[in-house]
Structure 1
């Protein structure tokens, strides 16, 4: 299994290069998924197919599948339940309600969604190759640095008690 990330400033040809790489690999017999985390939704245009449906791979041609991860939408829809759970846990541990709300409103939720979808496709997908058409550089840097940033924020915002970390572990998982 290989993962290739195409990233850079907007307009430099990331999407075109990602699409061309995926098409070439599939035509060489490599079972390939090209997925986009770019809010521009242009991978479907490059492949001349519609990807406006649910976040699941769509077959483009034999051996080539494509998907667009609408991370903003998925984060909005799915984070509400997680956020409510975290606020309850933090409140139960004695954290100030305003601070609990701030900690629970995870910055970078769309990036988490994109990382989780990439992980899901790598771990459970039938792919030999996953080509990722990343969002422009700033968004991609946030995506790739998210685990480190979350650890930093949690260390500074959360009370340093074993009970807190033990209670938060299921939510983090």
Structure 2
């Protein structure tokens, strides 16, 4: 599985296909191989704590030898993000107007895209600041639509910040000529935007570097996960984020017994043929349906063992 050689791995897919279990198995295997590994959930419906049987939460938490985990709370990160914006602008907004500005910013917290922007800000911090402390960083992402919006933000936000910087620069030049005898005007907002542009640029560079970052999608042999994954891969390709590995999860056992299971197996085989045809360019890993939920470290060990041995 070539993607396991990457330093940063994003695991995505439709809700319910087994993303969290797959991400946890990759992280568990990485830690067992001696790599200092950080497993991160960006999915609001966090499952990592259930899989490892312990509370994780918003701080990096030790799980086992070489393995730590973190569950990002989108609401908490949005609050922190808005608080940071307030701090950045309080010295350039007149005190009499700060109350209204703060009220406007508070309403932004519930606006579309606010959580994705805050999550991406946290994601950037993790990638840029934690990559020197860990050998592997694995992201268990939210369901497909959220993942696409999150991963497309570097390009979209980069364009937006570039436009804002040009506007601020033009305004500053005008002020400089009119009010400051041509001397440069100090602009804290410009400085903040410039720092953010540099961080976004560095994060985008890392995400686009195929030697550092890999993308995995988990699917089940069913119509909706296949259709959703096909669209997601096409969309991510447009942002130069290439999904090269698929995990086909929850396959029925080879020797299924009983009329119902045999019919279901025939049905499943049709979708496996579609997967082979639709995703001809992706590496594919086939994982069976286990007789029990993966709810503890022993089950995860068994899942991980097959996961590595069952590659095709």
After TM superposition, the score normalised by the length of structure 2 is: 0.44
Q: After TM superposition, list the pairs within 5 Å mapping 1:129-148 onto structure 2.
A: 129-148=136-155
Q: After TM superposition, list the pairs within 5 Å mapping 1:19-34 onto structure 2.
A: 19-34=24-39
Q: After TM superposition, list the pairs within 5 Å mapping 1:43-122 onto structure 2.
A: 43-52=48-57, 55-83=58-86, 85-86=88-89, 89=92, 105=108, 108-122=113-127
Stretches of 4+ moved more than 6 A in 1? 155-159
Aligned residues between the structures = 163
* 1:147–1:87 CA distance, 2 compared to 1 (3 A): farther
Residues 41 and 68 in structure 1, CA contact (< 8 A), matched pair in contact too: yes
- Answer yes or no: is 1:123 the counterpart of 2:95: no
Q: In the aligned structure 1, how far is the partner of 2:159 from the partner of 2:89?
A: 18
Query: Which structure ranks higher in relative contact order (CA pairs < 8 Å, sequence separation ≥ 6)?
Result: 1
* 1:47–1:153 CA distance, 2 compared to 1 (3 A): same
Larger radius of gyration: 2
Give unpaired runs (5+ residues) of structure 1.
Answer: 92-96
Q: In the aligned structure 2, how far is the partner of 1:171 from the partner of 1:44?
A: 36
Indicate the RMSD between aligned Cα atoms, in angstroms. 3.3
Per the alignment, in what secondary structure is the counterpart of residue 7 of structure 1?
Answer: strand
- Aligned partner of 1:94 in structure 2 is none
Q: In the aligned structure 2, how far is the partner of 1:62 from the partner of 1:16?
A: 19
Q: How big is each residue's C-alpha offset from its partner over 1:97-132, in whole Å with a ceiling of 9 and x where there is no partner?
A: 99xx58x94853432333333333333331100010
- Aligned partner of 1:40 in structure 2 is 45
